[in-house]
A and B are shown apart, each in its own frame.
Chain A
Amino acid sequence: MLLKLFIDLMSLSRKDTAYLVLEDGLVFEGYYFGHKGLANGEVVFTTAMNGYVESLSDPSYKGQILAMTHPLIGNYGVPKIIREKGILKNFESGNIQASGLVLGEITDGHEWNSEKTLDEWLREERIPGIAGIDTRALTLHIREHGSMPGVITNNKDAKGFDDYEKINFMKSVSVKKPIFYDNEGPTLAVIDYGMKEGILDCLHSMGYSIARMPYDSSEKKVFSYDPVGIVLSNGPGNPLLLKKETETVSNLLEHGIPTLGICLGHQLIAMSQGMEIHKMRFGHRAINKGVIDLRNGRCMVTTHNHGYAVAGDIPKHVKISHISLDDKTIEGIRIDSLNAISVQFHPEARPGPNDGFRVFEEFDSMVKNSTRSRKAGKLTLHG
């Protein structure tokens, strides 16, 4: 019964050994996939069981080595990028943003819409991956000891870890100059701190034209687009490094134009109002998290991807709108006096459940109700 068919004897021995070395000295041995080089970054994990295309292309993972807790990844390959009216429909950016990928097993799955395998994609983008890792053991380690710098390497004694908290990623993830996405509706100014295309897609689908602005755009530049609303996007890195951006946000808010903050944008709003930001031990990266809207008791399952959180004393004019059902942390705030709302989770999902879309709907009605948008007078938005 031994057939010539199976001649690639011991294909496993052809795999190249790779190591995931953590700053605290823990080393995991596995094998390389993707680019066989060095990856440097903060090692974090997500418990999302699929959606690796969206996660890897999410600029919020810039500077991070992403471990996925579900052991089989790559099962449906990687699709061809779909771009409609300039907006990516199935990727969060044009490239892989994470600096490395850690898996239990990399599979070469292929579905009707895939263009390449996950392995091929990482090779193209020169991003190292390591598989054959007990990702649960890694997860428990990070859970107990916190997210920490690490490298994917072929040298198990590797040293020289990047200090994630000290790196400002804004330049590498934001647009260089404003991009305008035309639509029948009035314009929203979206400040890109490393924005996921999903945010753009959600806003655009509601009829808005969008001015996507670089992270360091001035107040004046923003208002040159005569926006009916402002959206502050998600993004990577330590928000405490973004002093100047916080100041700009503070000034923008003073205009009282409806403003929506998402993830990093939420943190910038909070900081601008004097609230504190803490680094979390290992962050929240998942697509299964229960959040309750305290104003109406409605719950939703949401996508999270953050390593910092808003905490501490709450100024009088700030109202908590959402909290996490798991640990009661702040998930959303509302500042009526400034016409601003913001959420820590990702209402655009991608990957994750679509429950959070109601945040965009709330923002939409804020815009509609505001004086400026009534003046604009040509809204054809759905309700």
Chain B
Amino acid sequence: MAKKLPRKVLLIGSGGIKVAEAAEFDYSGSQALQALRDLKIKSIVMNPNIATVQTSYTMADSVYILPISFEYIKRVILAEKPDALLCGFGGQTALTAGLELWDSGFLKANGVEFVGTNPSGIRKALARADFQRLMRKEKIPVPPSFGVKNAEEGIKAANSLGFPVICRVSFNLGGRGSFVAYNMEEFKDSINKAFAQSGTGEALVEKYLNGWKELEYEVMRDIDGNSAIIACLENIDPMGIHTGESVVVAPAQTLDNHIYQRMRSVAIRVADAIGLVGECNVQFALDPNSYDFYVIETNPRMSRSSALASKVTGYPIAYVATKLALGFRMHELSNEISNSTSAYFEPSLDYIAIKIPRWDIQKFERVDQSLSSEMKSIGEVMGIGRNFEEAMQKAVRMLDIGEHGIVSVNSKITSIKRNDALDALRNRKPYWFLYAAQAFIEGASIDEVEGVTGINRFFISKIYGIVKDYINFKGASASEKRVMLNYMLRKGFSEAQLKCEMESEKPKRIDTLAGEWHSNTNYMYLTKNADSCESDFGDIQGKKVLVLGAGCFRIGVSVEFDYATTIIGSIAKSRGYSVATLNCNPETVSTDWNRSDMLFFDQLSAKSINSISKSTNIKDVIIFAGGQIGNNIASELSRNGMRIIGSDSRSIAMAEDRESFSRITDELGIKEPEWQKVTSIKDAIAFAERIKYPVLIRPSFVLSGSSMGVANNESKLIERISKIENIYKKKPIVISKFIKNAEEADMDCAADGNAAIGIPMFHIEKAGIHSGDSTMMIFPSDSEEMKPRIRVLQEMKDDVIKLVKRLNIKGPFNLQFALKDNNAYVIELNLRASRSMPFSSKGSGFELMEYAMHGSISQFDWKGFYEPRIKAYGVKSPQFSWAQMKGAYPALGPEMHSTGEVAAFDSNIKAALLKSWLSVQPNRLPLNAALIYGNNADIIGNEMRRWNDGLHLYSLDSSVDGLKDGAKKLSINDAIKMIKINAIDAVFTDGDMPEYDYGIRRACADFNVPIVLDSDLGTELSKSLGATTEAYELRHYR
């Protein structure tokens, strides 16, 4: 260690979770902060993503919940005076911000060092044309391509390369704006969009290597140029499918030593060429029929794949990369997992890890349902096993999409015929393996499936083998089945598939060294393919608890539940428990083996918990942190003899069952919108007529409003129900009165069975918009905003206490209300941690998880309801990924569509709202013109004028409500044209009218123009545009 370490480091986060920039950056940022703490360096983290672990004080010394923008970073630097900046741990968002700061000279002027790979190296890696030039100079093979600066040049390039071509955009994320074109028509369509989304207005048109293998090498390199490959990930999907959309296996399975090592050496030469200090991934395309390969790209920062590689191997890439950035050499660091060997080595895996993405595309109407070079998936899981079949089938179950393995049980798949299954494969439908299995069942050959998918025969044969075994088993006699059973279980089939009881699985250790050295790592997975049990956790004395994580992220389940899981783990530790964590999601902090005493990377099922309990003697389990998944298995856990810390399974069942819950609210005199459980459309119509439309429809046991909807009339009601019945045959449907124009409020609470602490939050959008898509506000207890709500707040608090006592609630819960005419109507009780708890906890300074733990195992020292005194205003805004959801219609409703959230705090509501809204990408203040139509258009228009009278205001020349005076009317087509060239740079709209304004909303999404989708939010926001904002540390607001 030759260099002097910095004293204080600023780390930039990645902002709200969006497709392609998700919780993996919370993980890498958290590891970076951990490394700083271990080196006794003060850390400052800046991230508006309130739900992250990194913005808690468990790892950072100072936290700034602010937009990641030039202006705000400058303010933080001036206030904190750090001497170094880390921008390689917050995705492309942080890296772009860091480069901008560097270019401006601001860092230099303020004595802030840009640590890690230097900016010129990063630029060489990111600007596609520069990268290709550099590679050619170094004699590293890159695909034939042309860098282009506009559409015309692009067309020329495509012509000379010949189709198909792939167009890649510089500085992009999740392949946004990149596309594959098979002919000129397709190419012209997409090239304009691509230019709209490039930060630099530069793109690369490249020969499309259809069907080639795709591989990623994760390279670590120190300032002396010592390099090692931490993992090589093989994409099972061939080139053309974005890595984030691919099923990925590690270690690489189909490479022989010769080509593996040749590409390894080239990966290191790429890292050398850009002067990497830290970590990068190098992506390769490899001809399946020769040793020809090309380098496709490199990300000179922690990425999704480096997070995955960390979890695949157990090697803490971000942690080590942080130390390398600060000037350490690799060989000066030790392998944290073995604690006895050096950090300079290449992990060896004695298991197979398979990552499968999770898509929620079906939640988005009109969206393009095919996978491509753009990322659409929203979460991922990683199955670990001792063979391919076990890892793969476990991963399929982890997705939590109702499947028990590769052979589908979903009638939408099992009903399709051979050719349709092959078509689905050809069209790259999500979860291709389910269609491949179905195609085999329907008689397709390995050749055919290989032909339509382009997936390597090795993997296709494995899928075929699974189907073959399954069919053989199903057709076998009882005695034959007994012979086969063990084999089937070893191939990863589940009890549900085989209709059998199976013995416990056994834990095996992940140690980066394939067992060669003794290691005390606590990182385990469960397998049926084990002779012996490797866990010695059974020997741990004293209190032990298992914390259940959130599993696969999806719409409605994201980093906030990982926050709860991680935080409850450290709280349990501080209360003397040895903590085991169970989770299956590689992009999380909770699956960092550093966080718990024992980590089980496996399925979230009662069966796994049983296996873990057997090998560790753990009986206590915390299920409330990870979200709904724990509640769904609560009663099974109880039956298995596990003790649930928090509300017990009976309380959970009473709360989750609509009928029993309503009986209880009636009995307690708690108001509730009128409702009824129905099992037929006829009953639904009759009930809706009685209580009068609009009505709300929803199935039981749901999160994030799956299949929820409002119906204003009979035909809509019928349409909605028929949609639900496909999915929830056995579960009842609930029809309830929809209270129009009600204010929606949330109360985040923790209780001890008698008393509770609660933090009230109010939504800007009216009831009817899913709470996850709403803008939530916290007010200071004595504020003007609170005054008119005091009476109804009292009713809310009373309801909370009544429910706590009646249901014996212990631990965290969330109660949702519709407020109308000073009446509080309870609309939902979630007996678990809620999405908003990181916000309510961090905003109030009262960590609800701490109270949840206390209430679960002890008593509070107060009676009744405790309302913490809140000092500042807080606003939480949803982050959407409309741009990535190609073709989707941006609109709000009872079904959730946002992928993440951000927040801001300030001393007045306007400033807090403005800052929070600006934290959402791609929001920015309009400079040119705003298009305003829908409800409240006049109010919004007037406020905009008051804020900036130089702004052009437009409305639409149609019957929809628009601006009455002073605004120019535009045709829809003209409006779209102006949006595309950013001549309109803000759009305010309302409601749900795709037949009318689909083109406008889509243009906003595709061309990065901020769009406000609700008139109440539009009104409040327009009043706030001129607010003066603060940029204080989070503690200031407590």
Q: Which A residues are within 8 Å of any B CB, using their own CB?
A: 1-3, 5-6, 8-10, 12-13, 28, 45, 47-51, 53-54, 69-72, 75-76, 79, 90, 104-105, 107-112, 134-137, 139-140, 143, 286-290, 292, 297-299, 301, 325-327, 349-354
**A54 B330 Cβ-Cβ under 8 A:** no
In Å, the complex CA distance between A370 and B125 comes to: 43
Q: Chain A's nearest CB lies how many Å from the CB of B532? A: 5
Q: Chain A's nearest CB lies how many Å from the CB of B908? A: 56
Asked if B865 is at the interface (CB within 8 A of a chain A CB), the reply is: no
Bitwise interface map of B from 420 to 440 toward A, beta carbon under 8 Å scored 1, else 0: 000000000000000000000
**B484 A325 Cβ-Cβ under 8 A:** no
Asked if B70 is at the interface (CB within 8 A of a chain A CB), the reply is: no
**B265 A3 Cβ-Cβ under 8 A:** no
A136 surroundings in chain B (CB, below 8 A): 350, 386, 508, 514-515, 530, 534
Scan residues 319-376 of chain B and give those whose CB is less than 8 A from a CB of chain A.
329-331, 340-342, 344-352
Q: Chain A's nearest CB lies how many Å from the CB of B487? A: 5
Specify which of B331, B340, B386 is in contact with A299 (CB 8 Å cutoff): B331
Taking A290-B331, A325-B331 as given, write out 15 further A-B residue pairs in contact, using a Cβ cutoff of 8 Å, ordered by the A residue number: A2-B475, A9-B480, A12-B484, A47-B516, A53-B257, A71-B387, A134-B532, A286-B516, A290-B228, A292-B331, A301-B345, A301-B346, A350-B257, A353-B264, A354-B262
Specify which of B224, B262, B443, B487 is in contact with A298 (CB 8 Å cutoff): B224
Q: Chain B's nearest CB lies how many Å from the CB of A303? A: 10
Specify which of A10, A49, A289 is in contact with B349 (CB 8 Å cutoff): A49
Q: Chain B's nearest CB lies how many Å from the CB of A137? A: 4
Q: Chain B's nearest CB lies how many Å from the CB of A205? A: 14
In Å, the complex CA distance between A289 and B512 comes to: 12
Asked if B686 is at the interface (CB within 8 A of a chain A CB), the reply is: no
**A69 B226 Cβ-Cβ under 8 A:** no
Q: Chain A's nearest CB lies how many Å from the CB of B492? A: 13
A350 surroundings in chain B (CB, below 8 A): 257
A139-B350 CB under 8 A given contacts A5-B443, A10-B484, A79-B256: yes
Asked if B780 is at the interface (CB within 8 A of a chain A CB), the reply is: no
B264 surroundings in chain A (CB, below 8 A): 353-354
In Å, the complex CA distance between A71 and B260 comes to: 18
**A112 B290 Cβ-Cβ under 8 A:** yes
A2 surroundings in chain B (CB, below 8 A): 471, 474-475
A69-B350 CB under 8 A given contacts A3-B471, A286-B516, A290-B331: yes
Q: Chain B's nearest CB lies how many Å from the CB of A93? A: 15
Bitwise interface map of B from 245 to 276 toward A, beta carbon under 8 Å scored 1, else 0: 00000011111111011101100000000000
**B289 A326 Cβ-Cβ under 8 A:** no
What are some 9 contacts across the A-B interface (CB < 8 A)?
Answer: A6-B468, A10-B484, A50-B256, A51-B256, A51-B260, A75-B458, A112-B289, A139-B516, A353-B261
**Cross-chain pair count, CB within 8 angstroms:** 182
Asked if B747 is at the interface (CB within 8 A of a chain A CB), the reply is: no
Specify which of B344, B348, B483, B518 is in contact with A325 (CB 8 Å cutoff): B344
Specify which of B224, B255, B340, B476 is in contact with A50 (CB 8 Å cutoff): B255
Asked if B164 is at the interface (CB within 8 A of a chain A CB), the reply is: no
Asked if B531 is at the interface (CB within 8 A of a chain A CB), the reply is: yes
A326-B352 CB under 8 A given contacts A50-B257, A134-B531, A351-B257: no
Name A78's closest neighbour in chain B (CB-CB). Answer: B256
**A354 B265 Cβ-Cβ under 8 A:** yes
Name B474's closest neighbour in chain A (CB-CB). Answer: A2
**B483 A10 Cβ-Cβ under 8 A:** yes
In Å, the complex CA distance between A123 and B483 comes to: 28
Bitwise interface map of B from 518 to 551 toward A, beta carbon under 8 Å scored 1, else 0: 1000000000011110100000000000000000
**A9 B518 Cβ-Cβ under 8 A:** no
A1-B471 CB under 8 A given contacts A70-B348, A134-B532, A143-B515: yes
B258 surroundings in chain A (CB, below 8 A): 90
Specify which of B344, B387, B467, B487 is in contact with A12 (CB 8 Å cutoff): B487
**B472 A10 Cβ-Cβ under 8 A:** yes
A47-B348 CB under 8 A given contacts A325-B331, A350-B257, A353-B265: yes
Closest 8 pairs (CB-CB, A-B): A51-B257, A325-B342, A290-B344, A351-B257, A69-B514, A288-B346, A47-B348, A134-B531
In Å, the complex CA distance between A186 and B977 comes to: 74
Q: Chain B's nearest CB lies how many Å from the CB of A327? A: 8
A287 surroundings in chain B (CB, below 8 A): 346
Scan residues 441-475 of chain B and give those whose CB is less than 8 A from a CB of chain A.
441-443, 457-458, 461, 467-468, 471-472, 474-475
In Å, the complex CA distance between A3 and B224 comes to: 61
A354 surroundings in chain B (CB, below 8 A): 261-262, 264-265
Asked if B673 is at the interface (CB within 8 A of a chain A CB), the reply is: no
In Å, the complex CA distance between A186 and B461 comes to: 51
**A326 B257 Cβ-Cβ under 8 A:** no
Q: Chain B's nearest CB lies how many Å from the CB of A299? A: 4
Asked if B994 is at the interface (CB within 8 A of a chain A CB), the reply is: no
Name B346's closest neighbour in chain A (CB-CB). Answer: A288
Name A76's closest neighbour in chain B (CB-CB). Answer: B256
In Å, the complex CA distance between A315 and B962 comes to: 93
In Å, the complex CA distance between A49 and B257 comes to: 9
Q: Chain B's nearest CB lies how many Å from the CB of A351? A: 4
In Å, the complex CA distance between A353 and B262 comes to: 8
A143-B471 CB under 8 A given contacts A50-B257, A71-B387, A353-B264: no
Name A104's closest neighbour in chain B (CB-CB). Answer: B386
Asked if B288 is at the interface (CB within 8 A of a chain A CB), the reply is: yes
Asked if B517 is at the interface (CB within 8 A of a chain A CB), the reply is: yes
In Å, the complex CA distance between A69 and B471 comes to: 31
Q: Chain A's nearest CB lies how many Å from the CB of B463? A: 14
In Å, the complex CA distance between A136 and B264 comes to: 26
In Å, the complex CA distance between A352 and B257 comes to: 7
**B387 A50 Cβ-Cβ under 8 A:** no
Q: Chain A's nearest CB lies how many Å from the CB of B743? A: 53
A50-B386 CB under 8 A given contacts A70-B349, A76-B254, A109-B254: no
**A326 B443 Cβ-Cβ under 8 A:** no
Asked if B513 is at the interface (CB within 8 A of a chain A CB), the reply is: yes
Asked if B388 is at the interface (CB within 8 A of a chain A CB), the reply is: yes
**B350 A135 Cβ-Cβ under 8 A:** yes
Specify which of A70, A111, A301 is in contact with B228 (CB 8 Å cutoff): A301
Specify which of A9, A49, A290 is in contact with B345 (CB 8 Å cutoff): A290
In Å, the complex CA distance between A47 and B260 comes to: 15
In Å, the complex CA distance between A109 and B462 comes to: 10
